Structure 1
Amino acid sequence: MELGVWPESPSFHDDELGPIPAKWKGICQNGEDATFHCNRKLIGARYFNKGYAAAVGSLNSTLNSPRDNEGHGTHTLSTAGGNFVAGASVFGFGNGTAKGGSPKARVAAYKVCWPPVDGNECFDSDILAAFDMAIHDGVDVLSVSLGGDPITYFNDSVAIGSFHAVKHGITVICSAGNSGPAPGSVSNVAPWQITVGASTMDRQFPSYVVLGNNKTFRGESLSQKAMTKGKFYPIVDAKTVKAANASSKDAALCKPGTLDPKKAKGKILVCLRGDNARVDKGQQSALAGAVGMVLANNDLSGNEIIADPHVLPASQINYTNGLAVYDYIASTRSPVAYITYPTTQLDTKPAPFMAAFSSKGPNTVTPELLKPDITAPGVSIIAAYTEAQGPTNQPFDTRRVLFNSESGTSMSCPHVAGIVGLLRTLHPDWSPAAIKSAIMTSARSRDNAHEPVTNASYVKATAFSYGAGHIRPNRAMDPGLVYDLTYQDYLRFLCAQGYNESEIQVFTESPFKCPKPMSLVDLNYPSITVPNLKGSVTVTRTVKNVGEPATYNARIYSPPGLTVKVLPETLNFTKVGQEMTFKLTIEARKKGAAQDYVFGRLIWSDGKHYVRSPIVVKASS
């Protein structure tokens, strides 16, 4: 299995992986647009900056390199394919053996993002050039932790590039975006992409805020520095130590230049989450002479706690606890507190729940297509990091680490990529669509307390947050049935979108005549979405048996206010590879049909396999 490039040299032979495949011959090279590091670690790297150079002009020679000076690429690639490394930790926290999803994979990095210019850092021409090179290099899996606002497919470089990759049998995994919890914020929404949301895991780094009134609030942190155990310090709302020329609002957020050192010195500041970076708030507090920081979530962040490597003793607490701390400060003449040193805790509950930042559906480009497809761990993920940056990724941080904790859908995306790499090894004959189906239909929408997955406010989440659910790699190995799709199916999908011949040619590279029109709801996708139900609709799907001969029976959990029926109710498969078609009829009840989206589920089961498909419907008014 190749996650990326396996460099070739005439005498190269790896004892663990065996002889190098012939397809890698000649890959190791130096050229105008590529730099490769060919060694026994089997790591390749290329850079693409011609589009960037066209926008900014002559480039510093240091930018003609695939070296990761920011940390994002190192972190994500090691998550997808990093080898086993004992003793990995962030300042001793989370200590253990690190590994990527596909350890010992042959990996390649394609650098397309550069220092921002006019708000742009990843240019379309560079992204497309990287996709072309990855296809040329013969990779099997592409992990794409980048994207922008959702736009039409023929204007979306990631959608175009990933289409061509999938056409060549490459599975492409993309981040859903970090614009949550706003509805309709999900990006990378093409059906040929696996779009990944971010959720928590059952590992936390608790750090407690202890108040002078004996109340204790659990937060999280990866602060390297510790307070004197049990020693209390004055604690204040950051807006009360604002600089003379600063607004109370900005000071409450601990923005640069808003805090008065004469007022803040020796105190613990309570900074409100929002606007500027969480770690920047800690830095501003430290610059003002504060001895510690309590980072209080705003209402949008809810219970989402992210463990950051702050530069001073700090703890991030949830919204409810933040309100209690503010109340204590306001009601006490001399409020005091201290912050405990963080620890590592495993097997926490509930987990997972959805990250507040994770972008949500509905899909604003094609409402008939549920996005995101899946969710995976994306909060406080420990992975390898560049030593060109400090762990806060801020200019002021002179510390250096080999591993760092990062959060975002950029972090959840390579989790899925690593799993896809393993599936490619186990099932080399599966198409990208079959792999996606296996991942989606085997997912779970309950947490480790056996309760429905919630959002960051502990309110029951929906498929618009997690897609088909939280990924389960072992179940994806043997899904029983898959919903498959071909290159031609995706072209028909583009035709159904109403794209004209010149727009479709962006994907085909040659003229393509649209066949008989298809309904978008009939795309053979592992989820079923009807955004504008008028009376009733019948949806067609085809499933392929990838397991032993078996008989599958349908079980339906109808969305509220709707009646759902499937025909036939039983599918009898007598051989591997056999395909069978069924029809699902969804009807709005005359009374009680909701005017907003409602959610249900279809499950095909033979008693061993459970092939789950979300049903998402909005009845028209």
Structure 2
Amino acid sequence: MDAKFIITSCNFNKRFMEKYLAVLCFLFISLHMKALCEERQVYIVYLGEHSGNRNFEEIEEHHRSFLHSVKGSKQEAETCLIHSYKHIINGFSAFLTPEEASTVSEMDGVISVFRSQTRRLRLQTTRSWDFTNLLEANGDLSRVNGEKLLQRASYGKDVIVGVFDSGIWPESRSFNDEGMEPVPKSWKGTCQQGIAFNSSHCNRKIIGARYYLKHYEAEHGPVKEKMEFRSPRDKNGHGTHTASTIGGRRVPNASSLGGFANGTASGGAPLVRLAIYKVCWQPDPLDEPVCPDGDTLAAFDDAIKDGVHVISLSIGSYTSSPYAEDGTAIGSLHALKRDIIVVCSAGNSGPTPSSVSNVAPWLISVGASSIDRIFQSTIVLGNGLIVQGRTVTPFRKTKKYPLVYAVDVEIPGKTTNVTTGRCFPGTLSKKLVKGKVVFCWVGFISQALEVRRAGGVAAIFGNPYGGKGVVESPFLLPGTTVLQNDRATIVSYILNNENPTATLFPGRTIIGTGPAPFMAPFTALGPNGIEPNILKPDITAPGLNILAAWTEASPPTQLLQDHRVVKYNIGSGTSMSCPHVSAVAALLKAIHPDWSSAAIRSSLMTTG
């Protein structure tokens, strides 16, 4: 063999091995650092507010200096840093052990160090604005109060609302910008591109869009493509629903699946500008979207700098934290200092006392109440007795079918004294259920799936919330929900008749029902768990069975088994009531641009 070839080959192999070893070393160190970070938890280190003219590199280096002092190496400190807040809010989020967090909390300049909360979206509008006297359901401005407010506010055209949520479906008719004026010069934000979302999806209605992933992916790993769009586009539907309730354009003949709630869909401020901040992500098909504090605080930092006037945040937690350890409280405090109004949902953990979340005194916490619209479905029992149910499930009139109580058709050993009669997954016998209507003592979407799995032709559910309010969702089989007082009537009929039967009639929309409003059964209650002398929630707004725009990437029930596509959907929760207040706050801001955030909050609470 040629000697020159041998020498050249040896040199090549040596260089190859050096590079190969270097790559292996880098991968090992990266995996080692990742493992070190995974043993820790995400903490937020809050340092107050930026002052002076530091550039971004100087700010980030300053933040790293806190980590350098508690980490074993500079590289480990850099790897465990997640967010460095550089615009208005001074602080950062990072992986720390409890001991490291305690050490950092004692350093000069540190206001607080706290575990980042993972908040959640809980989804639990043609009529609501009419019911609140803002505009007529057909789009005519004939009521004096609504006409005066909307015209004086120019329908909110120069006000920018930042929506912190699960993103947006920009193709919805609710977000068209036809006839709108150019984007306000005060806007300093951007239209961030990503999967299935580019700059053309922003317009004079959706003037900006961003998404935040660093904290989410640090804890949950990379976003799953089947679950989410890695962009401001909304896969879940929640963000599209809230954004259109705030500022959706007027869309005639909008309705949910099956034509329920038909009318003109409109946001409360139809010419307001929307800036989208996607901070919530779906980790698993069976779980609620999560909204980490670290990412939400980054969105606050950007939104304040971008120039929003109102921030709407339909995100809640199950518990309240001290204000200096609450990302939403901290972010909204910096917004307040610039007279940005922050409106938050109060939570859906009611009616448990002290279940209210978002309790900082400087933000507006919104509870949920009903409107004067129901979706009535008649049930005729075999003895001629009529029971009125509630449904938004589209189906034709069912035939007369045998009616069974879930207690009598359960698989032995699959239930307990607590769960019997409740149609929990895997509890019903196919042999005993097939071809029958099943009555479940309480029920919702998962119970409807169980009746369907067992071969039932239809289902009747007792209202799981009790009281007057029924949270509606379109089931995957004919079904209706009866009020609490009617449950005993149906059970008594089944027990006292040898061959009980039932016929279900399709639901229909009925407007003008009373009493209304009443508090939604799920809405979180006070007293304030942090400071009982500060009353929370501040105000209530329509949040029960609200129609608004929806993503076409997710079915109306958000179930994997559901393959239906809708443009508008009915949702319930304080997530739905929050954007109602955000819209009215935007109108007041348009009329009184010199009013402080506190003045607008006071005006809403004392005249609502």
TM-score by length of 2: 0.67
Match of 1:559 in 2: none
CA distance in 1, matches of 2:327, 2:517: 32
CA distance in 2, matches of 1:206, 1:294: 13
Q: 2:294 aligns with which of 125, 140, 148?
A: 125
1:136-195 Cα deviation digits (max 9, x unpaired): 111111111112111111111111111111112111111111011111111111111111
1:273 aligns to 2:442 (yes or no): yes
Consecutive unaligned residues in structure 1, runs of 5 or more: 7-13, 444-621
Query: Which secondary structure state, in structure 2, belongs to the residue aligned with residue 102 of structure 1?
Result: coil
Judged with a 3 Å threshold, the aligned counterparts in structure 2 of structure 1 residues 339 and 27 are, in CA distance, closer, same or farther, namely same
Match of 1:96 in 2: 263
1:46-82 Cα deviation digits (max 9, x unpaired): 1101001111234446552121111111111111111
Which AA in structure 1 matches 2:280? C
Match of 1:321 in 2: 486
CA distance in 2, matches of 1:330, 1:71: 42
1:284-317 Cα deviation digits (max 9, x unpaired): 211211111111024x522221222111111111
CA distance in 2, matches of 1:157, 1:26: 22
For the Cα contact (< 8 Å) 2:183–2:204, is it kept in 1?
Answer: no
Match of 2:240 in 1: 74
Shift of the alpha carbon at 1:388? 1.1
Match of 2:572 in 1: 407
Which AA in structure 2 matches 1:303? K
Match of 1:290 in 2: 456
CA distance in 1, matches of 2:267, 2:212: 25
Judged with a 3 Å threshold, the aligned counterparts in structure 2 of structure 1 residues 436 and 18 are, in CA distance, closer, same or farther, namely same
Note the 1:191-340 alignment, pairs <5 A: 191-228=361-398, 231-247=399-415, 249-250=418-419, 252-273=421-442, 278-298=444-464, 301-340=466-505
For the Cα contact (< 8 Å) 1:178–1:359, is it kept in 2?
Answer: yes
1:151 aligns to 2:308 (yes or no): no
For the Cα contact (< 8 Å) 1:35–1:46, is it kept in 2?
Answer: no
Which AA in structure 1 matches 2:230? N
CA distance in 2, matches of 1:325, 1:134: 53
Match of 1:142 in 2: 311
Note the 1:187-586 alignment, pairs <5 A: 187-228=357-398, 231-247=399-415, 249-250=418-419, 252-273=421-442, 278-298=444-464, 301-443=466-608
Which AA in structure 2 matches 1:65? S
CA distance in 2, matches of 1:171, 1:316: 38
Query: Which secondary structure state, in structure 2, belongs to the residue aligned with residue 127 of structure 1?
Result: helix
1:49 aligns to 2:213 (yes or no): yes
Judged with a 3 Å threshold, the aligned counterparts in structure 2 of structure 1 residues 431 and 342 are, in CA distance, closer, same or farther, namely same
Which AA in structure 2 matches 1:241? V
Larger Rg: 2
Query: Which secondary structure state, in structure 2, belongs to the residue aligned with residue 4 of structure 1?
Result: strand
For the Cα contact (< 8 Å) 2:181–2:204, is it kept in 1?
Answer: no
Q: Would you say how many aligned residue pairs link Structure 1 and Structure 2?
A: 429
Judged with a 3 Å threshold, the aligned counterparts in structure 2 of structure 1 residues 210 and 395 are, in CA distance, closer, same or farther, namely same
Match of 1:178 in 2: 348
User: Comparing both chains, which one has the higher relative contact order based on Cα–Cα distances under 8 Å and sequence gaps of 6 or more?
Assistant: 2
CA distance in 2, matches of 1:43, 1:266: 53
Which AA in structure 1 matches 2:292? F
1:83-116 Cα deviation digits (max 9, x unpaired): 1111100121111110011112110221111124
For the Cα contact (< 8 Å) 2:162–2:311, is it kept in 1?
Answer: no
Which AA in structure 1 matches 2:281? W
1:16-36 Cα deviation digits (max 9, x unpaired): 44343322257345599x975
Q: 1:4 aligns with which of 156, 161, 170?
A: 161
For the Cα contact (< 8 Å) 2:379–2:388, is it kept in 1?
Answer: yes
Shift of the alpha carbon at 1:224? 1.2
Judged with a 3 Å threshold, the aligned counterparts in structure 2 of structure 1 residues 110 and 250 are, in CA distance, closer, same or farther, namely same
Query: Which secondary structure state, in structure 2, belongs to the residue aligned with residue 74 of structure 1?
Result: helix
Query: Which secondary structure state, in structure 2, belongs to the residue aligned with residue 158 of structure 1?
Result: helix
1:451-502 Cα deviation digits (max 9, x unpaired): xxxxxxxxxxxxxxxxxxxxxxxxxxxxxxxxxxxxxxxxxxxxxxxxxxxx
CA distance in 2, matches of 1:63, 1:308: 25
1:525-550 Cα deviation digits (max 9, x unpaired): xxxxxxxxxxxxxxxxxxxxxxxxxx
Query: Which secondary structure state, in structure 1, belongs to the residue aligned with residue 356 of structure 2?
Result: coil
Judged with a 3 Å threshold, the aligned counterparts in structure 2 of structure 1 residues 271 and 172 are, in CA distance, closer, same or farther, namely same
1:243-294 Cα deviation digits (max 9, x unpaired): 24411544522222111111111111112336xxx12211221121111111
For the Cα contact (< 8 Å) 2:192–2:211, is it kept in 1?
Answer: no
For the Cα contact (< 8 Å) 1:219–1:305, is it kept in 2?
Answer: no
Judged with a 3 Å threshold, the aligned counterparts in structure 2 of structure 1 residues 262 and 369 are, in CA distance, closer, same or farther, namely same
Query: Which secondary structure state, in structure 1, belongs to the residue aligned with residue 383 of structure 2?
Result: coil
For the Cα contact (< 8 Å) 1:220–1:317, is it kept in 2?
Answer: yes
Query: Which secondary structure state, in structure 1, belongs to the residue aligned with residue 563 of structure 2?
Result: coil
CA distance in 2, matches of 1:207, 1:394: 23
Query: Which secondary structure state, in structure 2, belongs to the residue aligned with residue 115 of structure 1?
Result: coil
For the Cα contact (< 8 Å) 1:280–1:394, is it kept in 2?
Answer: no
Larger helix fraction of residues: 2
Which AA in structure 2 matches 1:126? D
Judged with a 3 Å threshold, the aligned counterparts in structure 2 of structure 1 residues 121 and 238 are, in CA distance, closer, same or farther, namely same
1:190-239 Cα deviation digits (max 9, x unpaired): 111111111110011101122122221212101112233xx321111112
Which AA in structure 2 matches 1:193? L
Judged with a 3 Å threshold, the aligned counterparts in structure 2 of structure 1 residues 318 and 264 are, in CA distance, closer, same or farther, namely same
For the Cα contact (< 8 Å) 1:176–1:358, is it kept in 2?
Answer: yes
CA RMSD between the two structures: 2.3
Q: 2:280 aligns with which of 113, 122, 129?
A: 113
Which AA in structure 1 matches 2:415? S
Larger strand fraction of residues: 1
Match of 2:58 in 1: none
For the Cα contact (< 8 Å) 2:162–2:277, is it kept in 1?
Answer: no
For the Cα contact (< 8 Å) 1:304–1:356, is it kept in 2?
Answer: yes
Match of 1:604 in 2: none
Which AA in structure 2 matches 1:246? K
Which AA in structure 2 matches 1:106? R
Which AA in structure 1 matches 2:401? Y
CA distance in 2, matches of 1:92, 1:182: 35
Judged with a 3 Å threshold, the aligned counterparts in structure 2 of structure 1 residues 202 and 213 are, in CA distance, closer, same or farther, namely same
For the Cα contact (< 8 Å) 1:292–1:314, is it kept in 2?
Answer: yes
Query: Which secondary structure state, in structure 1, belongs to the residue aligned with residue 304 of structure 2?
Result: helix
Match of 1:24 in 2: 187
Which AA in structure 2 matches 1:139? V
CA distance in 1, matches of 2:448, 2:290: 26
For the Cα contact (< 8 Å) 2:180–2:204, is it kept in 1?
Answer: no
CA distance in 1, matches of 2:301, 2:441: 44
Query: Which secondary structure state, in structure 2, belongs to the residue aligned with residue 269 of structure 1?
Result: strand
Judged with a 3 Å threshold, the aligned counterparts in structure 2 of structure 1 residues 120 and 18 are, in CA distance, closer, same or farther, namely closer
CA distance in 1, matches of 2:376, 2:194: 49
Judged with a 3 Å threshold, the aligned counterparts in structure 2 of structure 1 residues 29 and 320 are, in CA distance, closer, same or farther, namely closer
Shift of the alpha carbon at 1:15? 7.4
Percent of aligned pairs with the same amino acid: 48
Judged with a 3 Å threshold, the aligned counterparts in structure 2 of structure 1 residues 201 and 169 are, in CA distance, closer, same or farther, namely same
For the Cα contact (< 8 Å) 2:313–2:344, is it kept in 1?
Answer: yes
